[in-house]
Amino acid sequence: MKTDTIAAIATAVSNGGISIIRISGDEAFSIIDKIYKSKKGKKLSDCSSHTVHYGYIADGDTVIDEVMVLLMRSPHTYTKEDVVEIDCHGGIVVTKKILETVLKYGARLADPGEFTKRAFLNGRIDLSQAEAVSDIINAKSEYALKNSLNQLRGNVLDKIKDIRQSIIDDIAFIEAALDDPEHITLDDFSNELAKHIEVNVIELDKLLKSSDNGRLLKEGIKTVILGKPNAGKSSLLNVLVGTDRAIVTDIAGTTRDTLEETIQIGGICLNVIDTAGIRNTEDIVEKIGVEKAMKSAEDADLIIYVMDASTNLDGNDHLIIDFIKNRKAIILLNKTDLNMVIDPKEMETLTGKDIIQISAKENMGIDKLEKWITDMYFQGKIDLNNEIYITNIRHKEAIMESKNSLLMVNQSIEDGMPEDFFSIDMMNAYKVLGEILGEAVDEDLVNTIFCKFCMGK
Ligand code: GDP
């Protein structure tokens, strides 16, 4: 079937760097032939797929911009259609002019999300992946982007598929037994079914919980600032945040509770938690703070350990050093504007961690910290635990419905209802999970029954 050819600006419309105009559809190559010029006069529709070409975009004799053009032939493209991408020099005027030229020569302006819709309709991605892509487009930060990519890679899908498989196996068993009571018995099956349901409900609950986490994660890398009282944690947070949100005082232990801030560093979102200092103390309030500090640091993606470089190490420092040993952490030697008594090299040897010298008060060395964080992040060295996250409201609702249906089955089992009664709710639990994947139900059941129980019949 011939489809119309769509085009859109694929990058944010701003006056910076490079912009990309993407064209997808049967006419993509013939359109680019009409507007692309190169010194040697090459015709792009004659060139091989997945190649890049340098040249100019022109409308007739009027050259618009110097560009690189990427050619990607169907079906190995995002939409499975012929795709052409024009990388131009950016600038709102030029980018729009190129898009206008593409439209003038036969493309239609794409609706929002239409490239992804085509990818879905052409079977390249399933519905949940399509939604993950829309999350990518809307991602607030690189970190959220990574989470969306994980979803694309399918770890949510795998989990949901596993649960569905378990449900359909049980449905198939019931159906097969009802169909063939002589050979397949349902005695004691309710017990087994109840166990399966329990496991699946736990898994669905985990996914549901992760939907809250997922939202949090979209906000950023969980970063905890640890350190003894007075080391300069609040001051650091203030510098990072650029406001006086945390109260800075020089009475040890005033940051009793935890403070939380979201900050952006080089496009990465950090969710920073400033804690009361960890130390052995009988002071009840501070102890609660200490416990909280430990607790919040326990599952942190990154720990920033702030040390007062002008005072000697004590037992509390060793406590923290021990705590961060096997965790992702950076040590900041603060107050380097004062007389330093801690040697950075010795500290590095002692802890095995990277050390950065800063002065929160003088705003020195903060840029080094920022660089360290972005480097680590992009090298993949700061990572969220490789868990599964649901970030999408529709998914969440489907999971909730599935769980409720399974709980109804449990109720039916307890009430001693007949087995064929279970199937209805089981089927609903299965169906709504399938909606996340954009999959239909009927054939699955037929296939499962056929494969598992009717072999050779
Ligand atoms: P926290 O208890 O770890 O949160 O420490 P604060 O941020 O409240 O700082 C404790 C005291 O140390 C305050 O008087 C700060 O002004 C001071 N301070 C923090 N950072 C520095 C620094 O880099 N240099 C100097 N000289 N003083 C600092």
Residues 189-220 have pLDDT tens digits of 899 999 999 999 999 988 877 665 444 444 46
Confirm or deny that 457 is annotated as ligand binding.
yes
Chain centroid offset of residue 178 CA? 44
Q: List Cα–Cα distances, 47 to 5, 44, 80, in angstroms.
A: 20, 5, 18
pLDDT (average), residues 160-179 = 90
Pocket test for ligand 1, best of 248, 251, 356, 363 (most atoms within 8 A of CB): 248
CATH number at residue 46: 3.30.1360.120
Asked if residue 372 and residue 224 are part of one domain, the reply reads: yes
Phi, psi of 229 (to 5 degrees): -55, 140
Asked if residue 419 and residue 300 are part of one domain, the reply reads: no
Asked if residue 226 and residue 324 are part of one domain, the reply reads: yes
Q: What CA–CA distance (Å, rounded) separates 28 from 71?
A: 9
Half-sphere exposure of 318 (CA within 13 A, CB side): 4
> pLDDT per residue over 82-111, tens digit each?
999 999 986 667 787 898 899 999 998 887
Asked if residue 247 and residue 200 are part of one domain, the reply reads: no
Interface ipTM > 0.90? yes
Q: Which two tokens stand for residue 124?
A: 């390249």
Asked if residue 351 and residue 267 are part of one domain, the reply reads: yes
Asked if residue 439 and residue 334 are part of one domain, the reply reads: no
Q: What CA–CA distance (Å, rounded) separates 224 from 274?
A: 6
What type of residue is 105? Y
Burial of 256 (0-12, 13-18, 19+ CB in 10 A): middle
Whether residue 441 is predicted with pLDDT greater than 80 in this model: the reply is no
- Looking at 258-328, which runs of residues are DSSP E strands? 259-265, 268-274, 302-308
Ligand 1 lined by 405 (C-beta under 6 Å): no
CA 225 to ligand 1 centroid distance, Å: 14
Confirm or deny that 277 is annotated as ligand binding.
yes
Q: Is the bond leading into 75 cis (omega within 30 degrees of zero)?
A: yes
Say if residues 119 and 130 touch (Cβ distance below 8 Å): yes
pLDDT (average), residues 252-280 = 60
Q: How many CB atoms lie within 10 A of CB 288?
A: 13
CATH number at residue 328: 3.40.50.300
Asked if residue 333 and residue 232 are part of one domain, the reply reads: yes
Q: How many CB atoms lie within 10 A of CB 427?
A: 17
Asked if residue 235 and residue 326 are part of one domain, the reply reads: yes
pLDDT band for position 187 (50/70/90)? confident
Q: Is residue 325 part of a domain?
A: yes
pLDDT band for position 380 (50/70/90)? low
Q: Is residue 384 part of a domain?
A: no
Q: Is residue 385 part of a domain?
A: no
Confirm or deny that 79 is annotated as ligand binding.
no
Residues forming a β-bridge with 87? 20, 68
Pocket test for ligand 1, best of 230, 235, 359 (most atoms within 8 A of CB): 235
Whether residue 309 is predicted with pLDDT greater than 90 in this model: the reply is yes
Asked if residue 418 and residue 306 are part of one domain, the reply reads: no
Alpha helices (H) in 154-220, listed in sequence order: 155-179, 189-219
Q: What percent of the chain is predicted at pLDDT more than 90?
A: 34
CA 40 to ligand 1 centroid distance, Å: 65
Q: Is residue 456 part of a domain?
A: no
Ligand 1 lined by 230 (C-beta under 6 Å): yes
Chain centroid offset of residue 250 CA? 40
Ligand 1 lined by 248 (C-beta under 6 Å): yes
Asked if residue 224 and residue 208 are part of one domain, the reply reads: no
Q: What CA–CA distance (Å, rounded) separates 148 from 218?
A: 9
Sheet holding 268-274, edge to edge: 259-265, 268-274, 221-226, 302-308, 329-334, 355-357
Asked if residue 304 and residue 202 are part of one domain, the reply reads: no
CA 206 to ligand 1 centroid distance, Å: 41
Confirm or deny that 314 is annotated as ligand binding.
no
Q: Is residue 387 part of a domain?
A: no
- pLDDT at position 14 is 52
Q: Is residue 265 part of a domain?
A: yes
Say if residues 333 and 313 touch (Cβ distance below 8 Å): no
- pLDDT at position 2 is 64
Q: What CA–CA distance (Å, rounded) separates 366 from 372?
A: 10
- pLDDT at position 367 is 86
Q: How many CB atoms lie within 10 A of CB 89?
A: 14
CA 228 to ligand 1 centroid distance, Å: 11
Q: Is residue 95 part of a domain?
A: yes
Give the SS3 label for residue 414: helix
Q: 52 Cβ partners below 8 Å, 6+ apart?
A: 68, 69, 70, 71
User: Domain limits at 160?
Assistant: 132-214+392-450
Pocket test for ligand 1, best of 228, 230, 273 (most atoms within 8 A of CB): 230
Asked if residue 100 and residue 30 are part of one domain, the reply reads: yes
Q: Which of residues 79, 110, 141 is at a domain's end?
A: 110
Give 3-state DSSP helix, strand, coil % of the chain, rounded to 5. Answer: 50, 15, 35
Tell me how many domains the chain contains. Answer: 3
More confident residue, 441 or 230: 230
Residues forming a β-bridge with 88? 19
Q: How many CB atoms lie within 10 A of CB 192?
A: 12
> pLDDT per residue over 344-357, tens digit each?
999 999 999 999 99
Q: Which of residues 378, 404, 434 is at a domain's end?
A: 378
Sheet holding 19-24, edge to edge: 36-37, 51-59, 62-72, 83-88, 19-24, 6-9, 108-109
